[in-house]
Homo-oligomer: A and B are copies of this chain.
Amino acid sequence: MSVPTTTRAIVLTAPVRGEVTDKTFELKTVPLPALADGQVLLRLKAFSHEPALRHWIDADTDPARLYVPPVLAGEVVRSPSIGEVVASKSDKWAVGAKVAALAGWAEYAVVDEAMYPAHTTPSELPDSNLHSLDVLGWVGLTAYFGLFKVARPIKAGSTVVVSGAAGGVGSVVVQIAKHVLGARVVGIAGGKAKCDWVRGLGADECVDYKSATFADDLKAALPDYADVFFDNVGGAVLDNMLALVKRHGQILMCGAMDQYNGGELKLRNWSQVLFNRIDIQGFLFLDYADSNAEAVENLAKWVAEGKINGPNAHTVVANKLEEVPATWKRLYSGDSRGKLISKLE
């Protein structure tokens, strides 16, 4: 094939204040840079949908306080991706290789051969194997580092609570905490169907945060409180959990889905942090790159052993490129299960 010099892509029209709208993204044809040494051109096949993207496109977040550069107006929207090498100036990747890379919502992208910089091991991936976008990608590493590097040692019988339990990170946390660590696992998710799915992953209990009796249900599920609360949500879920984390227990702050569209976090139980000497630790998988090899090795082993991430542990949506933003927005409507992935038709 001839090497393309442009690509259709979804670009950011302008940084966002408040809700993402139909005008936030637009489909354009943009130039592709010429390949430099050490780079490859990818034909992109699939994208994993990151809640964190909302931060990267936020109008009000000070770039100096963000952990990655923001996506600017006119730039292709950034996304972990799987693609096939169609042109190469890299000794590492030949044409035809299928790799994982941090690229964006486009048909083609030029990326450095290091790919997912320093956080996973790209490998030959059949189209049907999307694990490099989930359990061997960002969400797997986040769950792994949270449970093994940030949390104090979790023993069999420890109680681990995870919010967003039906989401990308949360669903992996549930499975590792239960099937690898032998913890008592209480998931928090929205709606009965999601809670049933979370129980199917192995959670001992799942509490529906949309229920009118949520606060009481959560308390009933935690008669001995939680050793570790792995929070992806913030909001009322966090507020209730402040009263239910054990003395000297831990909260891992991994996300705040409730705050992503500009919402204020309202806490009635903040004093519990003092009363019960709770530790709240914000963390990102990026900080544990030295342990990536260990993490990927273990995660791949647990997948092979059937302990985590069977074939139903992610949601794959076949999309045309122009449909990808709407699929990403499903993270906020909450109708996906596990890691949400768009696969280009």
Residues of A that sit less than 8 Å from B by CB: 55, 61-62, 65-67, 234, 243, 253-256, 259-260, 264-268, 270-284, 287
State A161–B279 Cα separation when bound (angstroms): 19
Inside 8 A of A268's CB, which chain B residues have their CB?
A: 264-265
Q: How far is the CB of A28 from chain B (nearest CB, A)?
A: 29
Q: How far is the CB of A54 from chain B (nearest CB, A)?
A: 9
**Can you offer 28 A-B residue contacts whose CB atoms are under 8 A?**
A65-B243, A65-B272, A65-B276, A67-B276, A253-B273, A256-B274, A259-B271, A264-B266, A264-B268, A265-B265, A265-B266, A265-B268, A265-B270, A266-B267, A267-B267, A272-B282, A273-B280, A273-B282, A274-B283, A276-B282, A277-B282, A277-B283, A278-B282, A279-B279, A279-B280, A279-B281, A279-B282, A280-B280
Copies in the complex: 2
Q: How far is the CB of A70 from chain B (nearest CB, A)?
A: 11
Inside 8 A of A234's CB, which chain B residues have their CB?
A: 270
State A307–B274 Cα separation when bound (angstroms): 29
Inside 8 A of A55's CB, which chain B residues have their CB?
A: 271, 275
A264-B268, A278-B282, A279-B281 known; 4 new pairs, CB 8 Å cut-off, are A256-B270, A264-B267, A273-B280, A274-B282
State A132–B171 Cα separation when bound (angstroms): 53
State A342–B259 Cα separation when bound (angstroms): 44
State A282–B66 Cα separation when bound (angstroms): 25
Name the contact of A66 in the complex, choosing from B61, B260, B275, B287 (C-beta under 8 A): B275
Q: How far is the CB of A18 from chain B (nearest CB, A)?
A: 13
State A313–B91 Cα separation when bound (angstroms): 69
Closest B residue by C-beta to A263: B268
Closest B residue by C-beta to A66: B275
Closest B residue by C-beta to A287: B277
A234, A266, A271 — which one has the most chain B CB atoms within 10 A of its CB?
A271
Which 9 residue pairs spanning A and B have beta carbons closest together?
A273-B282, A280-B280, A265-B270, A265-B267, A274-B282, A253-B273, A277-B282, A278-B282, A279-B281
Q: How far is the CB of A110 from chain B (nearest CB, A)?
A: 28
Closest B residue by C-beta to A254: B274
Inside 8 A of A274's CB, which chain B residues have their CB?
A: 253-256, 282-284
State A55–B281 Cα separation when bound (angstroms): 25
Q: How far is the CB of A31 from chain B (nearest CB, A)?
A: 32
A260, A268, A287 — which one has the most chain B CB atoms within 10 A of its CB?
A268
Inside 8 A of A259's CB, which chain B residues have their CB?
A: 270-271
State A176–B69 Cα separation when bound (angstroms): 38
Closest B residue by C-beta to A268: B264
State A266–B235 Cα separation when bound (angstroms): 10
Inside 8 A of A254's CB, which chain B residues have their CB?
A: 274
State A55–B273 Cα separation when bound (angstroms): 13
> B243 to A275, Cβ gap below 8 A?
no
Q: How far is the CB of A271 from chain B (nearest CB, A)?
A: 5
State A118–B66 Cα separation when bound (angstroms): 44
Q: How far is the CB of A254 from chain B (nearest CB, A)?
A: 7
State A277–B281 Cα separation when bound (angstroms): 7
Inside 8 A of A276's CB, which chain B residues have their CB?
A: 65, 67, 282
State A270–B273 Cα separation when bound (angstroms): 15
Inside 8 A of A287's CB, which chain B residues have their CB?
A: 277
